[in-house]
A = this chain, B = another copy of it.
Amino acid sequence: MYRIGELAQRYQVKTDTLRFYDKHGLLKPSSRSESGYRIYSEDDAQRLRFILRAKAIGFSLTDISELLSIELDKSNWACADVKGVVDIKLADLEAKIAELNYFKTSLQRLSDACCGGPESAEHCSILEALESNSSAIKCENQTHRHDPSHYTKNCQSKG
């Protein structure tokens, strides 16, 4: 039996977080002391571990609620239901990753085109790319008038 602070410390969460989980129905302490303190049982702790593990895997609290309601009533659910939750999440995640990879490619292309040196940004190819209408990125080699030996290592035949 743990009080909120003990449970919080044991699992490295804030007491606020546990109260939040209580309020939102994810984890209600199985009893209260006479004075109203939350008292968490070992089962409650187990449930918290479930929540934290699911969170670490990338589930939202809403997903976790769903998984917990299945968990509490396993025999009335099928594997297909559980796998469905996971697979939807997986598809979301793949879409998100694809999007971020697209951003990354764009940024990488911008970064590569810029010398990154102490030259004035007047001809900075990053700014020019953001100003222009085209998606082509011009390298700075042509616009900066100085010895390019230090700054061109990143910018080779792009665009």
CB distance from A150 to the nearest CB of B (A): 12
Q: Does A74 lie at the interface of the complex (its beta carbon under 8 Å from any beta carbon of B)?
A: yes
Alpha-carbon distance A74/B122, docked complex (angstroms):
5
Main secondary structure of the interface of A (DSSP, over half): helix
B50 close to A116 (CB less than 8 A): no
Alpha-carbon distance A50/B46, docked complex (angstroms):
51
Which of B58, B67, B106, B120 is the one whose CB lies under 8 Å from A57? B106
Q: Which residues in A have some Cβ–Cβ distance to B below 8 Å?
A: 46, 49-50, 53-54, 56-58, 67, 70-71, 74-84, 86-87, 89-90, 93-94, 96-97, 100-101, 103-104, 106-108, 110-111, 114-122, 124, 126-127, 129-131, 133, 140, 144, 151
